[in-house]
């Protein structure tokens, strides 16, 4: 267990430094190309920090561990909102752009509802809940529509950008992104391996490992990146990172592995797990709709729900 603890600590160190470099590179890239920071947050940052989830899902599906695949996505999306937005808002109120409230958050809510419906086959009279290859293809088709929306967003917002001080040259910005992403992925792998090793030695179930250790480990890039972005005043990156990561997790982290490697024949997650996922996304949308901000009080509400839900997971599983 000593080796696992060392891996865990070493992973945290690499992860934090990688996220710091990554945020600098991403925001500088936006300035160089006069791209709205929210677009960078929804694409490069969100997709890059979701790379650990994708890697874990592919490896788990190959090994036939469907619970880890689904638990990784469900747990990560819950953590992204309740923990990451909650912690980030403690440092500073997160301003949410009008476009995010009107379009990106409703898209996230719609995709979350679609995902919940797709894995609940019993509501359509089926005998058992499954997540099939067809379900995965449906999610990927919705993701292509989202990508089209992002490119139209970039074109429309590009004209409204003012002159900003560029932090780094284009080559240096790309280098920062590459180095930061490498640190994020490497650090996450160390954290997940170390934490999973500790959990297995303590004798907990695969489902609980997926919802807690694996989900937390693969969400650490989003957590560290969003908190770092908030402390640097890059609020669009912080919000865009979470929104983009949740969409990417549902559509791609599930969609690509399952559509290629085959479906998950038995879904063991109950309605409480899925209800918490839905409530988290709904609250994020409603809080943002109210005054275009996620303030400290709302962040504390997210964190309280996080504590209650994960107390249930630990005690009830």
What number of other Cβ atoms are within 10 A of residue 307's Cβ?
A: 13
> What are the pLDDT digits (tens) for 1-33?
788 888 878 887 887 788 778 878 877 877 777
Task: Please list the residues that pair with 95 across neighbouring strands.
Answer: 293
What is the percent of the chain where pLDDT is above 90? 21
| Interacting residues of 234 by C-beta distance below 8 A, sequence separation 6+ | 23, 27, 37, 41
Query: Is residue 178 scored above 80 in pLDDT?
Result: yes
User: How many domains is the chain partitioned into structurally?
Assistant: 1
> What are the pLDDT digits (tens) for 35-65?
776 677 667 776 776 777 777 788 778 877 7
More confident residue, 254 or 128: 254
Please count the CA atoms within 13 angstroms of the CA of 191 that sit on its side-chain side.
24
For residue 5, the model assigns a pLDDT of: 83
Q: Mean pLDDT of all residues in the chain? A: 82
> What are the pLDDT digits (tens) for 222-280?
788 788 888 888 777 778 778 888 998 899 888 988 998 888 877 777 788 899 999 99
- Domain with 307, as residue range(s), is 2-157+166-316
For residue 163, the model assigns a pLDDT of: 52
Look up tokens 């561990």; give the residue: 65
**If we measure between CA atoms, which residue out of 270, 278, 275 comes closest to residue 317?**
270
Here the CATH number for the domain that contains residue 221 is: 1.20.1420.30
**pTM metric for this prediction:** 0.79
């Amino acid at each position: 267990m000593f080796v696992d603890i060392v891996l865990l600590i070493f992973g945290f160190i690499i992860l934090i430094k990688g996220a710091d470099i990554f945020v600098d590179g991403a925001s500088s890239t936006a300035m160089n190309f006069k791209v709205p920071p929210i677009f960078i947050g929804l694409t490069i940052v969100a997709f890059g920090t979701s790379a650990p989830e994708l890697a874990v899902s592919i490896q788990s599906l190959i090994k036939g561990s469907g619970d880890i695949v689904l638990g990784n996505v469900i747990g990560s999306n819950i953590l992204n909102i309740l923990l990451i937005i909650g912690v980030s808002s403690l440092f500073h109120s997160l301003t949410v752009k009008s476009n995010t409230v009107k379009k990106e958050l409703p898209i996230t809510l719609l995709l979350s509802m679609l995902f919940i419906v797709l894995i609940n086959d019993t509501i359509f009279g089926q005998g058992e809940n499954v997540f099939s290859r067809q379900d995965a293809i449906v999610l990927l088709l919705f993701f292509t529509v989202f990508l089209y929306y992002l490119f139209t967003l970039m074109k429309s917002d590009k004209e409204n950008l003012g002159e900003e001080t560029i932090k780094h040259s284009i080559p240096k910005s790309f280098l920062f992104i590459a180095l930061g992403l490498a640190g994020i992925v490497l650090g996450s792998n160390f954290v997940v391996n170390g934490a999973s090793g500790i959990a297995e030695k303590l004798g907990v179930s695969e489902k609980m490992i997926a919802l807690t250790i694996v989900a937390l480990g693969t969400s650490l890039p989003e957590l560290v990146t969003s908190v770092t972005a908030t402390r640097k005043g890059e609020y669009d990156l912080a919000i865009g990172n979470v929104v983009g990561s949740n969409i990417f997790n549902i559509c791609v982290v599930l969609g690509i592995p399952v559509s290629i490697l085959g479906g998950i024949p038995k879904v063991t997650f109950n309605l409480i797990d899925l209800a918490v996922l839905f409530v988290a996304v709904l609250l994020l949308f409603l809080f943002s709709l109210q005054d275009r901000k996620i303030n400290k009080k709302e962040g504390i509400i997210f964190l309280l729900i996080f504590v209650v839900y994960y107390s249930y997971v630990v005690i009830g599983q």
